[in-house]
Amino acid sequence: AQTVTQSQPEMSVQEAETVTLSCTYDTSENNYYLFWYKQPPSRQMILVIRQEAYKQQNATENRFSVNFQKAAKSFSLKISDSQLGDTAMYFCAFGSNSGGSNYKLTFGKGTLLTVNP
Amino acid sequence: DAMVIQNPRYQVTQFGKPVTLSCSQTLNHNVMYWYQQKSSQAPKLLFHYYDKDFNNEADTPDNFQSRRPNTSFCFLDIRSPGLGDAAMYLCATSKGRANSPLHFGNGTRLTVT
C-alpha cells in the first residue's frame, strides 16, 4: 500500500515571498500520478497541480510549481509570490496507475499554510 | 458551470437519529466518492461508486451506507450517528482513471448532538 507523508503540519509565509511545502511518498510502482490539492477555510478542495511520474519535467501552473524527485520519492510544492488567498490547507495525494482501483487517491495529512500580510 | 453540489451545507442530527447527505454532479463522471474529514486531518475514503458498482473500504463502519440511483446523484446514509461521526463529509467525482483529478463539492458539516 502507498503512503503519503507531509512532515510540516503548519507553515507561514509573508505575502509576496516564496514557500515550499514538502511531501514524500512510498510506493513500489513505477507509473503513478501525484497531486497537490488546496482546501481554503470553509471552501471546497480544488486541484492545484498534477505530475505524471513518467515525466521528468516538473509541472508548473502560474505561481505554483513542483520539485519532483522520483528516486527520492519526493514531491514538493513551491508557491511563488504568495498571496493572502493562498492561505489554505494543502494536501499531497498519490494516484496509482495499476490495480483494480486505480482511481482512488491516497492523501497526506495536510499542511496548513498561512500567508501573512 | 459543471460542478459537484452537496446538500445541505450544515446538518445537525441527534445521537442515533438516521441522517442522509446528498451529492449531485453535472460533470457526468463515472466515479463518485464519499470522504469523511475530521478537523485538521486528511480526507478518509469511506466508499465509492464506479458507475453502479459499489466499493466499500475495509474499515468503513457498517453504520455508513450509500446509494447511487443514477449517474448524477449519490447519497450517504448514516443509520445511527454517534458523536464520533461528527465531521465534514466530502463528495467527489472523477472520470475514473489514475490521472483524473477529483472534483470536490463544498462538503456537508455534520453535527451530532
Can you state the percent helix, strand and coil of chain A, rounding each to 5? 5, 50, 45
Q: What is the pLDDT of residue A51?
A: 95
**Contact indicator for B102, B94 with CB cutoff of 8 Å:** yes
Measured distance CA(B105)–CA(B110) in Å, rounded: 15
pLDDT tens for each residue of chain A, 117 residues long: 778 999 999 999 999 999 999 999 998 888 889 999 999 987 889 999 999 998 889 999 999 999 999 999 999 999 999 999 999 999 999 988 666 666 788 899 999 999 999
Q: Check CB contact under 8 Å for A97 and B98.
A: yes
**Nearest residue in A to B107, CA atom:** A44
Q: What is the pLDDT of residue B41?
A: 84
Q: Check CB contact under 8 Å for A102 and B31.
A: no
Averaged pLDDT, groups of 10, chain B, 113 residues long: 88 96 96 92 92 93 96 97 96 89 94 96
Count of A–B CB contacts within 8 Å? 55
**Nearest residue in B to A4, CA atom:** B42
Q: Check CB contact under 8 Å for A35 and B98.
A: no
Q: Check CB contact under 8 Å for A110 and B42.
A: yes
